[in-house]
A and B are shown apart, each in its own frame.
Chain A
Amino acid sequence: MARATKRRSRRGETFMAVLFLLCGLVVIGWVGVIALYLVVSGLPVLVSYGPLRFLFGQVWASTAPDPQLGIFPFLATSVVGTVCALLVGAPVGVLTAIYLSKLARPKLAGVVRPAVELLAGIPSVVYGLMGLLLLCPFLMRVFRWKSGATLLAAVVVLTVMILPTLISVSESALLAVPPEYEEASFALGATQVETIWKVSVPAARSGIVAGLVLGIGRAIGEAMAVLMVAGNVPNLPWFSRPVTFLTTAIAKEMGYATGVQRQALFSIGLVLFGFVVLLNGVLHWVLRGGKHS
């Protein structure tokens, strides 16, 4: 009797272990399935149209009788938009993280930290709404443009959207700096700001860079907010022009696309996936580099 119970319980043990293993394998499986589907559906047009012509062609006219499928305007816009958002967002994000981790009095940090969390939780369509009805009219009036829906509007919206990522990752990196480093710096007569700038930030370098990479990923993948404020014309990127990003090209045309146009949109998805994989690789490299040094 006791032996039977024991055997049953051992069988139950094995069953649960296998079940949990399967759950883990499902996660790996999904990555494989997603990669496979994107490659299989995205590759045909990329190959038949010619990869270089596709990536560096300047004209996108997917609905023309003789479709032109150059995605260089989207590619350039995504890169320029992301870089600009990072150029503004990175200093603000890192400085805010410094404030939260080193300078803030607990009561004030208790205001700023929830603000960052709330900002992270705001849906992208709400950012889009604010951009469309507040930012775009503002830009139009200030610069006397015909329309405010431009690259500049998209960059501003993206900057705000990546801030929470930059701040929270940098903050945890700065909090992880051993206090002995900073104490040693104080003991040598450095001021608080000097200590932060010359000791804490360099020590938290790899974490801060990881935050920047995650921010890049967030910016390059954002679709809906940008769709609402960027104007959606396949122009080469310039601040005063309406532009289309890689993501918005997919979001805008997918609903009604057929045939080659549809397949070309899958190819854009594949290009975007390429960026994501690349960023993931960079992230891994940064974090591992930080651990070894």
Chain B
Amino acid sequence: MNHRRAVRRRVTDALLRGGIYASAAGVVVVLAAMLGYVFYRGLPQLTWSFLTGQRSELAGTVGIFPNLLTTLYLIVLTLLLAMPIGIGGAIYLNEYAPSCRLAAGISFAAETLAGIPSILYGLVGYLIFVPLVGRACVLAGGLTLSVMVLPLILRTTQEALKTVPVSYREGAAALGATKWHLLRTIVLPEALDGILGGGILAVGRILGESAALLLTAGTGYQLIPNLGKALRSSGGTLSVMLYVAVSERGEYQVGFAIAALLLLLGLFINAGVRGCRYLRKKRGERNAATSQRHHHS
């Protein structure tokens, strides 16, 4: 009896352990397979002429330079619009927030925004920003994405602000510093790496976005040298062009080339986020050490 129970225990133990290891291995294998296959098919296509050229049916060339520019414009535009509001909102939540109910309302609103699928952002951008700007263009796309990444920036900034030690604020307050002065000179510089990490995450989100842009920014692939005109014309980002190339034109080579480029950029972004996290951790240790020294003396 006792023996049988011991056996059963050992069998369940082994089964669960096996399941746990198999799942973790499965995740790594899926990632490795995807990276491997996309790089295998895409990297050879990723030539200099492809990166700097332009698609032309007449000349029979393929290239993604205009789309690279569109992606860059969209990233800059979105961050310019979203960073100030997101950071400001986070500062209000973490540093001011006098009435608890309002702060809870803002947090809840940010959570709700974070849960809205990108296709709905596309729909709302199509309803609000496209008529506002006059057409589906990079500007309308940037406005749409700025709402979409707002909760991401707000949350990461808030987390970064939370890591600034209370003793810093108390010390500054005791010296008679006003709140904004304290924020500007101590809290924000301390939280900079965290805020930067949030910005990099937002860049990753913008790079990968397609559903929200298809209807708001369009699928244009012409090179437009004039910046003002480029912002007001239809432009497809890398992700959008991947979709168009594969689903509408059946150009799988172009699709894999863009996919390889997107994954490479994704690796860079991941490294950037890790770098910011590492800086923050270092700073946390340094702060802990400083405050300990102060306690001892």
Report which A residues bind B (CB closer than 8 A).
9-10, 12-13, 16-17, 19-28, 30-31, 33-34, 37-38, 41, 91-93, 95-96, 98-100, 103-104, 111-112, 114-119, 121-126, 128-130, 132-134, 160, 163, 167, 191, 193-194, 196-197, 214, 217, 220-224, 227-228, 247, 250-251, 254-255, 265-266, 269, 272-273, 276-277, 279-280, 283-284
Contact = CB atoms under 8 A, between A and B. Distances in A.
Interface of B: 9, 12-13, 16-17, 19-24, 26-28, 30-32, 34-35, 37-38, 84-89, 91-93, 95-96, 102-103, 105-106, 108-113, 115-120, 122-124, 126-128, 147, 150-151, 154, 178-181, 183, 204, 207-211, 214-215, 239-240, 242-243, 246-247, 252, 255-256, 259, 262-263, 266-267, 269-270, 273-274
A97 to B, nearest CB: 9
A23 B22 CA distance: 46
B270 A121 contact: yes
A111 B25 CA distance: 10
A251 B108 CA distance: 28
A224 B24 contact: no
Contact of B89 (A27, A92, A276): A27
A95 B24 contact: yes
B115 A280 contact: yes
Given A27-B89, A27-B150, A125-B243, A163 B208 contact: no
Contacts of A16: 179-180, 183
Given A122-B263, A125-B210, A132 B246 contact: yes
B82 to A, nearest CB: 10
B126 A24 contact: no
Contact of B109 (A31, A167, A247): A31
A251 B211 contact: yes
A28 B105 contact: yes
A117 B274 CA distance: 10
A265 B127 CA distance: 12
B119 A38 contact: no
A24 B102 contact: yes
B246 A266 contact: no
A193 B225 CA distance: 62
Nearest to B10: A191
Contacts of A220: 117
A130 B13 CA distance: 36
A266 B123 contact: yes
- Mostly, the A contact residues are helix
Contacts of A91: 19, 23
A99 B85 contact: no
A115 B92 contact: no
B89 A96 contact: no
Contact of B117 (A25, A221, A227): A221
Nearest to A232: B247
A122 B270 contact: no
A30 B109 contact: yes
Contact of A38 (B13, B124, B256, B269): B124
17 contacts: A9-B181, A16-B183, A20-B92, A27-B154, A37-B124, A99-B21, A103-B17, A115-B32, A116-B27, A117-B273, A125-B208, A129-B242, A133-B255, A193-B16, A223-B119, A269-B119, A277-B112
Contact of A37 (B127, B181, B207, B211): B127
A220 B117 CA distance: 8
Given A112-B27, A122-B266, A9 B178 contact: yes
A128 to B, nearest CB: 7
A139 B87 CA distance: 47
A224 B211 contact: yes
A13 B176 CA distance: 14
A255 B215 contact: yes
Contacts of B119: 221, 223, 247, 250-251, 269, 272
Contacts of B20: 95-96, 98-99, 103, 193
| Most chain A beta-carbon contacts within 10 A, residue among B105, B115, B267 | B115
B109 A276 contact: no
Contacts of B273: 117
